[in-house]
């Protein structure tokens, strides 16, 4: 071989690989169309093979040339419609194109590859098939085991020598094809006496008998090859994008010149302008460069038609693969990294998801299964969904299997929700198929998939219904290079924590540290909404100096406490032992500060800042000195001298030019020897939670607690809160007699509880909080002051003593009488005009002779009265039952009147699920809509509710949505 010019060769390889990538899918479409040949498509494949042949001839790659030539012959015949592309023929072509690809990826050795096994069937097809397509298929059916070799030599030796260099010319090509045809016809005539001998060529039959075996192998081979050979080395960038980059680079140079000039001239006003300009150009440049890394997801998706085709053939299944959203773009690194997990998931769907045609027919489904691969953008992320209409995943079977394998105990699985059971599939050491097949399901798959996707900052979710199918959705960030991070400070250095790991930020005021921080052995934990959260002190884990931040002096001071709950300094000299005295002298500077404050345990400096982070199944609190903003950062790798520092995922450069380290949350947990809360622990946790729920038999309600006046505590349901903003009093503007503030480029209407309710006026603080709600399709802010807290309480709500307009009731929370604010009523009183169009909606019931009857099933008096209040206000007639059983009896009694059922989920005697089930399975009520109200609208509950027939879910006290949906159902029912 004489390859002189590396560059030309490289060009050839790239071009050929591109051609081959297309060939595969095109061949598959040709196969689909069968006799109905799409000429353009065949032409395209033909030209691709032809270009490869031409290039190979030029480079002296004779083997590649020979094979592509043989393919071209067959394609030529398909094009001229002298040959019908049966699946068998397409298979031979596919195998040949796989071989071509392998050879092209390893060009240097390509001339030594034995391609006889491909040439023989190709030539056999070219020689004889076209004349006798009918016989051919017949011959195959009879499966005559004739082993006479087909004298491949008899096939006209392709006149290769003619064209290598000059055959770019289409005309020559045509002539050649014609020649080829003639030759083929001739040889066909020769052997016409015994066509079967020719057809049933051993190689050909061998290939066709078990094509999937071969292809499966080649597919995986190719994967390795292409991901290394094709993706890493070079990337295709659109010229327009390059032009844009050039323009930006040019502008950057101009701005630099300007900057230098300005610095020389000391013209400070201009300097600002130049700075802004550079800022602008830089961000544009960054964006443009990021774009060059974006690749269409089609690069990964395109191989799946083949994978699915080969697999389904092998397994004897009929599967249609639909691909949607090929154009969705993702960062190159992500595209490369999702290849394997996606392949695994698709294979799983084909292997385990879709049943055999027989099985499907019995289940009343069409024989052909559908697998859908979908990519789309959602909320700044890319979502990839793999949907099948197959058997679905049986959570109970999984749970049983987990118990059998000893991964979980029976009690643990009983406490799990359906969704959690389905997610058991991600536990290490799990295989779903009853038999382990070589396609997927070696029992190591799904957990690896999850781990790999976790590494990318992705998230996998499975929704499955037995008998209906499975949807696996994978959420991925657009790019890995820029990630949003929370910046924190410890020991006077900044660190970044990726937002994907961030659960919440927690500040424990100094006064509560003692109560909320507990010790379990040597470990410290914090009580967070009833659960224990392990705590890690960042400075300890990474071995930095223990410090704390003193906001009064805006500086970091060294901290000598061993335990968080210890006092930082002791007032009494009795506590001063010798070592401490020495230590104090050593820290003379900081000690003096220490002493200046009397007991800092109650000063602001002793408050704890905890970043609650999670990674995989581990969740813990990281104690840091100070919380800063969240920022988008660019990840930069650390040098090799720092590779041993496992606590960091990299570093980033902050706005001031200094570096902040990015924390690796998973490794920090490992370093602190936090054990993972794995599936079984989670199950225990759930069992306990379930037990507690049974014990208390009360609805738990998540509340946001805040104050308006110093000594009056209020609460609102947490799920109504959009977000909380910290503002200064000066930001509140009074315009047109209304209080507003600027918020997200608009004005946010502000109100106070005392605007409506008879409570003490808003405290005169400089720092205010705005609790933002979304009501009547607008946002509205409620002014409040701290301290705020989110907690879950058992609803023991007194709804008479303190009830008034804007206050729905009261409860004792943490020893304080707390008023529950009815935000809806507040808004309605202050802004009746917002609800005007809704009134119309509510009045149209009057046209009917009798108001529709709504049955409410709810065990808590408080909630029942609330809902009853809303509904009767809107003109409905109400029947109420304090549990499911009572409601059912009422329904039986008034079955012709009831137009709608509104039910709670957790109720004694007959719970909401059971009630719904009973209603839906009774013929009299099968059409009766059921709306469920719940305090915990977890996805699991929703899924469970849907399965028993609940028509809609609403969160308790979300009056607006409930009313809209009630109206909707009542109207529909008429």
Partner 1 sequence: MAQKKTDSVKRMVELATFYVGDALCGMDILKIQEINKLTQMTKVPQAPEYVIGILNLRGQIVTIIDLGKKIGLGETEINQDSRNIIVNDSSGHVGLLVRQISDVVSADMERRESAPANMHGIQGDFFTGVYKTEQTLIGILDVDKVLSIEE
Decide if residue 846 touches partner 1 (CB under 8 A). no
Total of chain residues touching partner 1, rule CB under 8 A: 25
CB of residue 635 vs partner 1: minimum separation in angstroms? 10
Our measurement of the distance from residue 739's CA atom to the centroid of its chain's CA atoms, rounded to an integer in Å, reads 40
Query: Nearer Cβ to partner 1, position 159 or 637?
Result: 637
List helix spans (H) across 754-883: 823-830, 836-843, 861-873
Sorted by sequence, the CB contacts under 8 Å of residue 659 that are 6+ apart come out as 651, 652, 653
| Nearest in space to 480 (alpha carbons), one of 285, 649, 615, 640 | 649
CB of residue 746 vs partner 1: minimum separation in angstroms? 37
CB of residue 287 vs partner 1: minimum separation in angstroms? 16
Query: Nearer Cβ to partner 1, position 648 or 863?
Result: 648
Decide if residue 658 touches partner 1 (CB under 8 A). yes
- Residue located via tokens 């008023």: 819
β partners of residue 378: 381
Q: How far is CA 681 from CA 29, 416, 675, 686, 963, in A?
A: 50, 12, 10, 9, 40
What is the C-alpha separation between 60 and 111, in angstroms, rounded? 9
Query: Nearer Cβ to partner 1, position 647 or 884?
Result: 647
CB 136, CB 201: distance < 8 Å: no
What is the C-alpha separation between 331 and 289, in angstroms, rounded? 11
What is the C-alpha separation between 790 and 558, in angstroms, rounded? 31
CB of residue 292 vs partner 1: minimum separation in angstroms? 17
- The token pair at 915 is 């009630």
CB of residue 623 vs partner 1: minimum separation in angstroms? 15
Decide if residue 673 touches partner 1 (CB under 8 A). no
Decide if residue 618 touches partner 1 (CB under 8 A). no
Q: How far is CA 25 from CA 107, 210, 387, 825, in A?
A: 23, 21, 21, 61
CB 702, CB 718: distance < 8 Å: yes
Piece of the chain touching partner 1 by CB under 8 A; list 198-206, 234-242, 398-406, 653-661: 653-661
Candidate list 237, 253, 436, 659; residue touching partner 1; CB under 8 A? 659
- Residue located via tokens 């009731």: 809
Q: What is the DSSP string of 189-219?
A: HHHTT-HHHHHS-HHHHHHHHSHHHHHHHHH
What is the C-alpha separation between 534 and 613, in angstroms, rounded? 11
Decide if residue 488 touches partner 1 (CB under 8 A). no
β partners of residue 517: 526
Sorted by sequence, the CB contacts under 8 Å of residue 127 that are 6+ apart come out as 154, 155, 156, 184, 187, 188, 191, 198
CB of residue 730 vs partner 1: minimum separation in angstroms? 35
CB of residue 546 vs partner 1: minimum separation in angstroms? 11
Query: Nearer Cβ to partner 1, position 645 or 942?
Result: 645
Decide if residue 543 touches partner 1 (CB under 8 A). yes
Decide if residue 660 touches partner 1 (CB under 8 A). yes
Candidate list 61, 542, 769, 887; residue touching partner 1; CB under 8 A? 542
Residue window 268-287: x/- pattern of binding to partner 1, with contact defined by CB under 8 A: --------------------
Query: Nearer Cβ to partner 1, position 492 or 754?
Result: 492
Candidate list 651, 820, 823, 830; residue touching partner 1; CB under 8 A? 651
What is the C-alpha separation between 894 and 877, in angstroms, rounded? 12
- The token pair at 105 is 């990826």
CB of residue 644 vs partner 1: minimum separation in angstroms? 7
Decide if residue 906 touches partner 1 (CB under 8 A). no
Query: Nearer Cβ to partner 1, position 576 or 642?
Result: 642
- Residue located via tokens 């943490």: 814
Decide if residue 645 touches partner 1 (CB under 8 A). yes
What is the C-alpha separation between 767 and 727, in angstroms, rounded? 6
- Residue located via tokens 């030759």: 183
What is the C-alpha separation between 381 and 383, in angstroms, rounded? 6
CB of residue 490 vs partner 1: minimum separation in angstroms? 9
Query: Nearer Cβ to partner 1, position 145 or 640?
Result: 640
Decide if residue 23 touches partner 1 (CB under 8 A). no
- Rounded (10°) angle between helices 959-973 and 861-873: 60
CB of residue 592 vs partner 1: minimum separation in angstroms? 25
CB of residue 351 vs partner 1: minimum separation in angstroms? 42
Piece of the chain touching partner 1 by CB under 8 A; list 4-12, 334-342, 634-642, 767-775: 634-642
Decide if residue 549 touches partner 1 (CB under 8 A). no
CB 380, CB 457: distance < 8 Å: no
Candidate list 521, 657, 736, 815; residue touching partner 1; CB under 8 A? 657
- Residue located via tokens 């082993």: 147
Decide if residue 737 touches partner 1 (CB under 8 A). no
Candidate list 415, 661, 753, 808; residue touching partner 1; CB under 8 A? 661
Residue window 393-412: x/- pattern of binding to partner 1, with contact defined by CB under 8 A: --------------------
CB 177, CB 75: distance < 8 Å: no
Piece of the chain touching partner 1 by CB under 8 A; list 6-14, 82-90, 342-350, 646-654: 646-654
Query: Nearer Cβ to partner 1, position 216 or 662?
Result: 662
Piece of the chain touching partner 1 by CB under 8 A; list 36-44, 351-359, 641-649, 672-680: 641-649
Candidate list 639, 736, 737, 815; residue touching partner 1; CB under 8 A? 639
CB of residue 667 vs partner 1: minimum separation in angstroms? 11
Query: Nearer Cβ to partner 1, position 322 or 643?
Result: 643
Q: What is the DSSP string of 458-479?
A: -EEEEEEETTTEEEEEEEEES-
Give exposure, 349-369, as e/b (b: 16+ Cβ within 10 Å). Answer: bbbbbbbebeebeeeebeeeb
CB 858, CB 882: distance < 8 Å: yes
Query: Nearer Cβ to partner 1, position 621 or 647?
Result: 647
Piece of the chain touching partner 1 by CB under 8 A; list 62-70, 346-354, 650-658, 890-898: 650-658
Piece of the chain touching partner 1 by CB under 8 A; list 225-233, 371-379, 636-644, 867-875: 636-644
Decide if residue 563 touches partner 1 (CB under 8 A). no
Candidate list 425, 481, 491, 899; residue touching partner 1; CB under 8 A? 491
Candidate list 638, 677, 955, 964; residue touching partner 1; CB under 8 A? 638
Candidate list 141, 145, 578, 641; residue touching partner 1; CB under 8 A? 641
Query: Nearer Cβ to partner 1, position 21 or 491?
Result: 491
Q: How far is CA 350 from CA 220, 430, 466, 480, 643, in A?
A: 16, 18, 16, 30, 41
| Nearest in space to 822 (alpha carbons), one of 873, 765, 876 | 873
Decide if residue 640 touches partner 1 (CB under 8 A). yes
CB of residue 418 vs partner 1: minimum separation in angstroms? 44
Decide if residue 559 touches partner 1 (CB under 8 A). no
What is the C-alpha separation between 612 and 106, in angstroms, rounded? 50
Decide if residue 636 touches partner 1 (CB under 8 A). yes
| Pairing relationship of beta strands 329-331 and 294-296 according to DSSP bridges | antiparallel
| Pairing relationship of beta strands 329-331 and 618-624 according to DSSP bridges | unpaired
H or E element: which one contains 791? strand 778-794
What is the C-alpha separation between 98 and 27, in angstroms, rounded? 12
Sorted by sequence, the CB contacts under 8 Å of residue 230 that are 6+ apart come out as 14, 17
Candidate list 176, 310, 493, 524; residue touching partner 1; CB under 8 A? 493
Site residues, partner 1 (CB under 8 A) = 491, 493, 539, 542-544, 636-642, 644-648, 651, 653, 657-661
């Amino acid at each position: 071989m004489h390859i002189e010019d590396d560059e030309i060769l490289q060009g050839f390889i790239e071009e050929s690989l591109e051609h081959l990538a297309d060939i595969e899918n095109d061949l598959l479409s040709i196969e689909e169309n069968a006799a109905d040949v799409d000429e353009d498509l065949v032409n395209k494949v033909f030209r691709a093979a032809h270009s490869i042949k031409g290039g190979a001839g030029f480079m002296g790659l004779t083997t590649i040339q020979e094979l592509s030539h043989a393919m071209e012959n067959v394609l030529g015949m398909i094009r001229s419609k002298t040959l019908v592309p049966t699946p068998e023929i397409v298979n031979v072509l596919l195998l040949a194109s796989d071989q071509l690809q392998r050879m092209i990826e390893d060009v240097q050795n390509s001339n030594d590859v034995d391609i006889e096994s491909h040439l023989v069937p190709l030539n056999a097809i070219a020689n004889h098939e076209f004349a006798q397509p009918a016989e051919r298929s017949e011959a195959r059916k009879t499966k005559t085991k004739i082993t006479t070799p087909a004298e491949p030599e008899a096939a006209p030796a392709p006149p290769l020598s003619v064209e290598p260099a000059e055959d770019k010319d289409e005309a020559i090509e045509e002539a050649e094809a014609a020649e080829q045809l003639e030759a083929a016809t001739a040889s066909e005539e020769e052997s016409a006496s015994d066509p079967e001998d020719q057809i049933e060529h051993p190689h050909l039959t061998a290939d066709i008998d078990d094509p999937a075996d071969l292809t499966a192998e080649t597919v995986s081979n190719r994967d390795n090859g292409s991901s290394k050979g094709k993706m890493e080395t070079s990337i295709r960038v659109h010229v327009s994008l390059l032009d844009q980059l050039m323009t930006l680079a040019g502008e950057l140079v101009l701005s630099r010149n300007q900057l230098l000039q300005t610095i020389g001239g000391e013209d400070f006003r201009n300097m600002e302008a130049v700075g802004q300009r550079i800022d602008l150009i830089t961000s544009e440049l960054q964006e443009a460069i990021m774009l060059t890394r974006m690749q269409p997801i089609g690069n990964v998706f395109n191989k799946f038609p083949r994978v699915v085709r080969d697999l389904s053939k092998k397994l004897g299944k009929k599967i249609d693969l639909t691909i949607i959203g090929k154009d969705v773009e993702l960062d190159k690194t992500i595209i490369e990294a999702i290849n394997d997990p996606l392949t695994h998931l698709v294979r799983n769907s084909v292997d385990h998801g879709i049943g055999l045609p027989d099985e499907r027919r019995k289940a009343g489904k069409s024989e052909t299964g559908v697998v859908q691969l979908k990519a789309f953008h959602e909320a700044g992320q890319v979502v990839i969904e793999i949907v099948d209409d197959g058997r679905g995943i049986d959570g109970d079977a999984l749970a049983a299997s987990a118990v059998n394998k000893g991964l979980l105990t029976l009690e643990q699985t009983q406490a799990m929700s359906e969704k959690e059971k389905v997610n058991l599939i991600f536990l290490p050491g799990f295989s779903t198929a009853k038999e382990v097949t070589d396609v997927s399901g070696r029992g190591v798959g799904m957990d690896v998939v999850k781990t790999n996707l976790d590494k990318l900052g992705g998230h996998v979710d499975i929704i499955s219904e037995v008998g209906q199918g499975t949807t696996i959705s994978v959420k991925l960030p657009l790019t890995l290079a820029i990630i949003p991070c929370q910046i924190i400070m410890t020991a006077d250095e900044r660190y970044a924590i990726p937002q994907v790991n961030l659960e919440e930020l927690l500040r424990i005021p100094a006064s509560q540290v003692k109560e909320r921080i507990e010790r379990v052995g040597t470990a410290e934990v914090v009580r967070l909404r009833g659960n224990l959260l392990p705590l890690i002190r960042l400075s300890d884990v990474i071995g930095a100096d223990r410090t704390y931040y003193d906001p009064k002096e805006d500086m970091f001071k060294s901290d000598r406490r061993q335990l968080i709950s210890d006092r930082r300094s002791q007032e009494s000299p009795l506590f001063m032992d010798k070592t401490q005295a020495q230590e104090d002298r050593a820290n003379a500077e900081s000690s003096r500060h220490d002493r200046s404050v009397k007991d800092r345990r109650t000063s602001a400096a002793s408050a704890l800042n905890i970043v609650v982070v999670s990674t995989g199944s581990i969740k813990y609190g990281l104690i840091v000195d100070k919380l800063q903003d969240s920022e988008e950062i660019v990840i930069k790798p650390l040098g090799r001298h720092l590779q041993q520092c496992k606590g960091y995922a990299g570093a980033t450069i902050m706005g001031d030019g200094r570096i902040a380290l990015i924390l690796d949350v998973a490794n920090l947990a490992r370093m602190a020897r936090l054990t993972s809360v794995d599936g079984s622990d989670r199950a225990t946790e759930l069992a306990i939670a379930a037990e507690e729920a049974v014990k208390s038999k009360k609805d738990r309600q998540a509340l946001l607690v805040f104050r308006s006046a110093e000594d009056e505590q209020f609460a609102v349901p947490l799920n109504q809160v959009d977000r909380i903003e910290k503002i200064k009093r000066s930001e509140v503007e009074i315009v047109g007699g209304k209080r507003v503030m600027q918020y997200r480029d608009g004005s946010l209407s502000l109100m106070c509880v005392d605007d409506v309710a008879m409570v003490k006026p808003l405290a005169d603080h400089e720092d205010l909080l705005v609790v933002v709600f979304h009501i009547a399709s607008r946002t509205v802010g409620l002014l409040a002051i701290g301290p705020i807290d989110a907690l879950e309480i058992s609803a023991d709500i007194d709804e008479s003593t303190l009830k008034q307009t804007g206050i729905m009731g009261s409860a004792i929370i943490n020893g304080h009488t707390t008023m529950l604010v009815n935000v809806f009523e507040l808004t309605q009183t202050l802004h009746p005009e917002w609800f005007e169009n809704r009134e119309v909606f509510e009045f149209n019931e009057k046209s009917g002779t009798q108001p529709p009857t709504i049955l409410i099933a709810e065990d808590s008096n408080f909630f029942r009265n609330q809902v009853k209040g809303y509904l009767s206000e809107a003109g409905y007639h109400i029947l109420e039952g304090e549990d499911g059983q009572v409601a059912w009896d009422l329904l039986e009694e008034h079955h012709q009147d009831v137009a709608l059922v509104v039910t709670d989920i957790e109720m004694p005697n007959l719970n909401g699920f059971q009630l719904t089930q009973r209603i839906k399975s009774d013929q009299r009520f099968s059409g009766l809509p059921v709306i469920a109200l719940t305090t915990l609208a977890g996805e699991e509950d929703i899924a469970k509710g849907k399965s028993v027939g609940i028509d809609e879910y609403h969160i308790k006290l979300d009056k607006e949505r409930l009313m809209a949906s009630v109206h909707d159902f009542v109207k529909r029912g008429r």
